[in-house]
Amino acid sequence: MAEVVVESLHKSFGAVEVLKGIDLAIADGEMMVVLGPSGCGKSTLLRLVAGLETVTSGEIRIGARRVNDLEPKDRDIAMVFQNYALYPHMTVYDNMAYGLRNRRVPRPEIERRVQEAARILGLGELLRRRPRELSGGQRQRVAMGRAIVREPEVFLFDEPLSNLDAKLRVQMRHEIRQLQARLGTTGIYVTHDQVEAMTLGDRLVVMNEGRIEQVGGPLEVYERPASLFVAGFIGSPPMNCFPARLGEDRARILLDGRSLPLAGPVAAEAGAELVVGVRPEHLEPADGGPLVLAVDWVEILGADTIAHGRIGEEVRICVRLPGATSIAAGDRLPLAVPPERLHLFDPRSGRRIDEKA
């Protein structure tokens, strides 16, 4: 087991810079989820750690070792690919044993490890089958098995569940989490699915366009998004964001002549332009509330209802209300927000503005 450290890592493909300076420290035994939209460089980061791509500049360490120039096989990692990448002509057993044979692990030891992995993953009956004779979920398990028999320092997962149907995905998510926790192996898990990220990770890295936006625990990322990008990316429906101005006392915001109190003074100049963020689930109907929503359409989802509309002239927001409500298009819905649920961002940098220390 080992920690993984990435320092000012850059990666370019020709003239295109895909990773623009990544710094990240993953603790021993931790499951770190890398989350971001498609094309932001998640896979590239993972492949650099795996040694499948060469580093342009920066450093990668696994344990205490600098691994920049090591071949994948010498890095003590195991990787689970998105399309599983099982060897189609080999049996399940051989798929799992192949890496061990190349490493000249003695035969009885290979047998022991493969049987153990098959037992953990429930593949015992399938060892003589070929990948094409397996279902998607079973293939996924074989790919996992191939990773665990190696007993590596680090597991690397590149969207391993994206080819499964929704139900199986939930189940496999749970299995991967349990397995990783039980083996205590450090894990890096790449995904663009925020639900997967929130449920699987000890911590998340949110990436955008080759940079890290935020590193933190799932709740921390949800409750204190470090930037407008993270605020918009985490949560569904995404956070409502609209422009406003900071009041003279720096403890309230002004919006169309209305005023919303903040939890305390913040670290920005009085009268400054701001972007205010508030999650749809944190807006509460309240008689005489400061924000009045002119509802123009309603989505009833059963467990909750999402009302879309405008406040003031042009600010569009949505509200998530528990249960099925009787709100309809055309209603005017007064809303209140607890002050601690308001997020403020600098409109130029997009960074979060914190309370004054």
Partner 1 sequence: MVENRPFLTFVAHALLILGILVVALPIWIVLVTSSQAPEDVLTAPIPMWFGERLVDNYLAVLGRGLTRSSSGPVAPMMLNSLIMAVSIAVGKIAISILSAFAIVYFRFPGRMLAFWTIFVTLMLPVEVRILPTFEVVANLGLLNSYAGLTIPLIASATATFLFRQFFMTVPDELAEAARVDGAGPMRFFLDILLPLSRTNIAALFVILFIYGWNQYLWPLLVTTDERYYTIVMAIQRMVTAADAEPEWHFIAAVAMLAMLPPVLVVLLMQRWFVKGLVETEK
Of 187, 186, 342, nearest in space to 254 by CA: 342
How many residues are recorded in the chain? 357
By CB under 8 A, tell whether 72 contacts partner 1.
Answer: yes
Cβ atoms of 4 and 55 closer than 8 Å: no
Cβ atoms of 319 and 280 closer than 8 Å: yes
Three-state secondary structure call for residue 43: helix
Residues in contact with partner 1, counted by CB under 8 A, come to a total of 24
By CB under 8 A, tell whether 262 contacts partner 1.
Answer: no
What's the distance, Cα to Cα, between the start and end of the chain in Å? 38
* String marking each residue 28-47 x if it binds ligand ADP according to CB under 6 A: --------x-xxxxxxx---
Residues 6+ apart with CB under 8 A from 89: 130
* String marking each residue 9-28 x if it binds ligand ADP according to CB under 6 A: ----x----x----------
DSSP state of 238: P
| Range 43-82, binding ligand ADP (CB under 6 A) | 43-44
By CB under 6 A, tell whether 191 contacts ligand ADP.
Answer: no
* String marking each residue 139-168 x if it binds partner 1 according to CB under 8 A: -------x----------------------
By CB under 6 A, tell whether 204 contacts ligand ADP.
Answer: no
DSSP state of 41: S
Stretches 128-136, 191-199, 294-302, 311-319: which one binds partner 1 (CB under 8 A)? 128-136
* H and E: helices and strands count for the chain: 8, 20
Tell me, rounded to whole angstroms, the distance of Cα 335 from its chain centroid: 31
Instruction: Return the number of the residue (130 or 310) whose C-beta is nearest partner 1.
Output: 130
| Range 24-63, binding partner 1 (CB under 8 A) | 50, 52
| Range 158-197, binding Mg ion (CB under 5 A) | none
Residue type at 354? Answer: D
Cα distances (angstroms) measured from residue 289 to each of 28, 267, 283, 337:
48, 26, 10, 8
319 vs 229: CA distance, rounded Å: 20
Instruction: Return the number of the residue (1 or 85) whose C-beta is nearest Mg ion.
Output: 85
Instruction: Return the number of the residue (43 or 138) whose C-beta is nearest Mg ion.
Output: 43
* Contacted entry of Mg ion, partner 1, ligand ADP, none for residue 174, CB cut-off 5 to 8 Å set by kind: none
| Range 286-305, binding partner 1 (CB under 8 A) | none
| Range 4-63, binding Mg ion (CB under 5 A) | 43
Tell me, rounded to whole angstroms, the distance of Cα 134 from its chain centroid: 29
Stretches 1-9, 82-90, 160-168, 269-277: which one binds partner 1 (CB under 8 A)? 82-90
Strands annotated E in the chain: 4-13, 16-26, 31-35, 57-62, 65-66, 77-80, 154-158, 186-191, 203-208, 211-216, 240-246, 252-255, 258-261, 273-278, 284-285, 291-300, 304-311, 315-322, 332-336, 343-345
**Rounded least distance, CB 267 to ligand ADP, Å:** 33
By CB under 6 A, tell whether 185 contacts ligand ADP.
Answer: no
Instruction: Return the number of the residue (42 or 250) whose C-beta is nearest ligand ADP.
Output: 42
Where do contacts with partner 1 occur on this chain (CB under 8 A)? 50, 52, 71-73, 77-79, 81-83, 85-89, 98-99, 102-103, 130, 132-133, 146
Using CB under 6 A, list all residues that contact ligand ADP: 13, 18, 36, 38-44
